[in-house]
């Protein structure tokens, strides 16, 4: 587990600001009595006025967590087979969130490898570098949807030990609307 964890006030930022602030932060997930995870390296921001966002057409049963208090986890199923992890941002009642796209795996790599069904040794690089892969490696599913990542939670985030000084912006991946909005953020240094 992490100590300290990110406080509520950390999440009280606009989605793009939070997306940048989360770069370099550790994220861990409890698997049995073990904690696995790594450092966040890539994020994307989504807001209510954004056609590419699930919250664009208002609150539904699926996206309700986006409108809950900052920090609340929003997990949804994509293409019927994968899960994506998001973190609610902005004020409560606003449908904003940050998609966690990639982490640098650091802790419990063997456990994550098993969860990803990797019998053979492969480059660690491909273990968590994508929202679906990340969710599989950390066993993220709908049981985490709506959860606030606190001290007692099975998923926790902490302040960056070594803040990210350089990052790049670019178009978000896999969307067809608002493609000109460069709200994908990637840490430049591999930490």
Q: Among residues 114 and 177, whose Cβ is nearest to DNA? A: 177
Q: Can you list the alpha helix ranges (DSSP code H) found in 12-161?
A: 15-21, 64-67, 109-115, 131-137
Instruction: Using the rule CB under 7 A, give the single segment among 34-42, 56-64, 104-112, 146-154 that binds DNA.
Output: 56-64
Which of these, 43, 152, 41, lies nearest to 96 by C-alpha position? Answer: 43
170 binds DNA (CB under 7 A): no
Q: Which residue among 13, 29, 113, 172 contacts DNA (CB under 7 A)?
A: 172
48 binds DNA (CB under 7 A): no
CA geometry: angle 143, 65, 31, nearest 5 deg? 25
Q: Among residues 6 and 184, whose Cβ is nearest to DNA? A: 184
Q: Which residue among 116, 146, 148, 159 contacts DNA (CB under 7 A)?
A: 116
Minimum CB distance to DNA, residue 72 (Å): 13
Q: Residue 143: CA atoms inside 13 Å, Cβ hemisphere, count?
A: 8
133 binds DNA (CB under 7 A): yes
Please give the Cα distance from 13 to 123 (Å, whole number). 35
Radius of gyration of the chain from Cα atoms? 15
Region class of 63: left (phi > 0), else alpha (psi between -120 and 50), else beta: alpha
Instruction: Using the rule CB under 7 A, give the single segment among 18-26, 106-114, 149-157, 171-179 that binds DNA.
Output: 171-179
Site string for DNA, 72-111 (x = CB under 7 A): --x--xxxxxx-x-x----------x-x------------
Answer yes or no: are the C-beta atoms of 35 and 26 closer than 8 Å.
no
178 binds DNA (CB under 7 A): no
Region class of 58: left (phi > 0), else alpha (psi between -120 and 50), else beta: left
173 binds DNA (CB under 7 A): yes
**What is the contact surface with DNA in residues (CB under 7 A)?**
44, 46, 52-55, 57, 60-63, 66, 74, 77-82, 84, 86, 97, 99, 116, 126, 130-134, 172-177
């Amino acid at each position: 587990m992490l100590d300290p964890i990110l406080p509520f006030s950390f999440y009280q930022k606009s989605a793009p600001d939070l997306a940048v602030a989360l770069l370099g932060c550790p994220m861990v997930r409890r698997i049995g009595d073990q904690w696995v995870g790594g450092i966040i390296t890539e994020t994307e921001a989504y807001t209510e006025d954004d056609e590419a966002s699930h919250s664009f057409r208002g609150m539904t049963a699926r996206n309700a967590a986006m409108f809950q208090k900052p920090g609340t986890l929003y997990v949804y199923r994509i293409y019927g087979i994968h899960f994506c992890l998001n973190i609610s941002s902005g004020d409560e009642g606003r449908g904003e969130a940050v998609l966690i796209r990639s982490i640098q795996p650091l802790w419990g790599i063997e456990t994550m490898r098993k969860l990803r069904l990797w019998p053979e040794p492969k480059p660690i690089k491909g273990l968590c570098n994508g929202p679906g892969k990340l969710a599989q490696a950390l066993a993220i599913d709908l049981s985490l949807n709506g959860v606030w990542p606190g001290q007692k939670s099975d998923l926790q985030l902490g302040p960056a030990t070594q803040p990210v000084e350089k990052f790049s912006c670019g178009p978000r991946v896999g969307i067809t609307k608002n493609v000109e909005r460069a709200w994908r953020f990637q840490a430049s240094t591999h930490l």
